[in-house]
Amino acid sequence: MTSPSGTNRPDWDLDLKDPELANVLRVQLAEVKDLELDLSVIQLGLIRNVTLEPNQVVIEMILTSPFCPYGPMMMDMVSQKAEKTLGKPATVMLGAEMWDFSMAEEGLLDNWGLY
C-alpha cells in the first residue's frame, strides 16, 4: 500500500500502531546510506515494513540489487539503529520484492536519466 503522505514509500505496520514512533524510527533509519548511491534506505524505499512485536522489532528490507556488496552491512546498520531507537532487539529480514526506481522518494531520481 502506498502512503497517503505523497511519497512512494509503503505504510509500515508500525505506522498504524504508533505513527509518532514510526516517524522517529524513519528519521534514524534515514542515516543509513547505500554507499554506492549515497542515498538513504528511506529515500530509496528499501524499508518495506516494520512490525513491533512484544519482544522484538521485525523489519522487512530489500536491496537495490540482489548483488549489492553493501547489503549485509546496511542490514546490520538498520538493525542497530532500530534497536537503539526502539529499545528492543531487531531482526532484519531480506524481502523477496524486487526494488525498482518507482520505490524511491518521488522526484529523487528524476535527474538521473534512468527511466
User: For 18-48, how does the pLDDT look when each residue is reduced to its tens digit (9 = 90+)?
Assistant: 999 999 999 999 999 999 888 999 999 999 9
Residue 90 forms part of a structural domain:
yes
1 falls within a domain = no
How far CA 32 is from CA of 38, 50, 51, 97, in Å, comes to: 10, 16, 19, 20
**Residue 2: inside a domain:** no
CATH number of the domain at 75, please. 3.30.300.130
pLDDT tens figures, 83-95: 999 999 999 999 9
Distance (Å, rounded) from C-alpha 46 to C-alpha 35?
14
Q: Which of 59, 45, 75 is nearest to 13 (CA)?
A: 59
Question: Containing domain of residue 93, as a range?
Answer: 13-104
Question: Do the domain assignments include residue 53?
Answer: yes
pLDDT in tens, 101-111: 788 887 566 56
User: What is the rounded CA–CA span in Å between residue 33 and residue 29?
Assistant: 9
Q: Based on the structure, what is the number of domains in the chain?
A: 1
Which pTM does this prediction carry? Answer: 0.86
- Which candidate, 33, 99, 108, 112, places its Cα nearest to that of 64? 99
Cα atoms found within 13 Å of the Cα of residue 38, Cβ hemisphere only: 0
Tell me whether residue 31 is in a domain. Answer: yes
